Structure 1
Amino acid sequence: MPKNLKEEIIFTIMMVLVMVYFMIFYNISLETGGAHNWTFLASLKELAIMGPVAFILDFFIVGKIAKKKTFSIINPERDNPFFIVLGISCISILFMCPMMSFVATLLFKNAGSEIIPVWMQTTVLNFPMAFFLQLCFAGPIVRRLFGLIIKE
């Protein structure tokens, strides 16, 4: 886990790149009736827009909320460190998924006057994938890579 500001920035960038890329890929696949070869490149193009948005939201708002809430529930001196990771990850998903779904709705969904129901639908469709992706794929991989890059 990150121990200083530099490490926090590196970790957040890594997590954003993995999570946002795969969530974009997922959303494009939903919109087009499935994944295609061109979906990989299209996802990279949207990542250039959504990545910085996700970094700003996570680094300046959601990350702080997630840590504060997690440490109000879990005592790092007494509880298993796994629960800290799980708490921060789950709380991050609870905030990031609706926020990023809203941004995606505004930028890519052409919702018109139906912005609220389209945002709600987007959030509901994204939430299970974001949860699975964070807890089972992106989170473990990014934490492992981060540990290899930043020797503890």
Structure 2
Amino acid sequence: MPKSLGQEILFTILMVFVMVYAMICYNIALATGGMTNSVFLLAFHELPIMAPVAFVLDFFIVGPIAKKITFSKFNAEITNPVFIILSISICSIWLMCPLMSLTATILFKGGFQKEMVSIWLQTTALNYPMATFWQLLFAGPLVRTIFGLIFKN
């Protein structure tokens, strides 16, 4: 877990890259009818737009809220760290998924139109299972491992 502002920024950058890139790939695959090699390249077109949005949302809004919720429910001194990690991750998914789905709806799915709310809700509903799976079983463990290797002490 990050212990300084610099570490928090690096951790957030790593997590944003791993999560946003994967979710962009997932959404492109949904839109094009399946996963192909070209999806991996197409995702790099959206990444420079979506990654900064995700960083700002996570670092300044969602992260602090997720931690506040977590530490209002768990005492860090006596709680198994796994429960702290899972709680922060789940709270982050719970908040980030609709916010990033809204951003994608506005920027890539027709923007402000009469069906915008329906498109946003559908996008959010389709993204929640993947975001949850990816965060809990891949991105979270990967980023924490990389982060732990960088900051061994």
**What's the TM-score, normalizing by structure 1?**
0.98
Aligned amino acid, residue 9 of structure 2: I
SS across alignment from 1:113: coil
Aligned amino acid, residue 138 of structure 1: A
How far did residue 37 of structure 1 move? 1.3
Aligned amino acid, residue 134 of structure 1: Q
How far did residue 126 of structure 1 move? 0.1
How far did residue 38 of structure 1 move? 1.1
Question: How many residue pairs get matched?
Answer: 152
User: How far apart, in 1, do the equivalents of 2:38 and 2:132 lie?
Assistant: 25
SS across alignment from 1:19: helix
User: How far apart, in 2, do the equivalents of 1:35 and 1:78 lie?
Assistant: 44
How far did residue 120 of structure 1 move? 0.2
How far did residue 103 of structure 1 move? 0.1
Q: What aligned pairs does 1:32-47 form with structure 2 within 5 A after superposition?
A: 32-47=32-47
Q: Does 1:30 align with 2:36?
A: no
Q: What aligned pairs does 1:57-76 form with structure 2 within 5 A after superposition?
A: 57-76=57-76
User: How far apart, in 2, do the equivalents of 1:51 and 1:124 lie?
Assistant: 21
**What's the TM-score, normalizing by structure 2?**
0.98
SS across alignment from 1:48: helix
Match of 1:94 in 2: 94
Question: What is the alpha-carbon root mean square deviation over aligned residues?
Answer: 0.7
User: How far apart, in 1, do the equivalents of 2:148 and 2:140 lie?
Assistant: 12
Deviant stretches of 4+, over 6 Å: none
User: How far apart, in 2, do the equivalents of 1:41 and 1:102 lie?
Assistant: 23
User: How far apart, in 2, do the equivalents of 1:150 and 1:49 lie?
Assistant: 29
1:77-108 deviation per Cα after TM superposition (whole angstroms, max 9, x unaligned):
11101000000000000000000000000000
Aligned amino acid, residue 132 of structure 1: F
Aligned amino acid, residue 25 of structure 1: C
1:6-46 deviation per Cα after TM superposition (whole angstroms, max 9, x unaligned):
00000000000000000000000000000111111110111
Match of 2:134 in 1: 133
SS across alignment from 2:139: helix
Unaligned runs of 5+ in 2: none
**How much identity, in percent, do the aligned residues show?**
62
Q: What aligned pairs does 1:111-126 form with structure 2 within 5 A after superposition?
A: 112-126=113-127
SS across alignment from 1:127: helix
User: How far apart, in 2, do the equivalents of 1:125 and 1:46 lie?
Assistant: 18
> Which stretch of the first structure deviates more once superposed, 107-116 or 32-41?
107-116
User: How far apart, in 2, do the equivalents of 1:45 and 1:105 lie?
Assistant: 16
User: How far apart, in 2, do the equivalents of 1:88 and 1:107 lie?
Assistant: 28
User: How far apart, in 1, do the equivalents of 2:23 and 2:134 lie?
Assistant: 8
How far did residue 110 of structure 1 move? 1.3
Unaligned runs of 5+ in 1: none
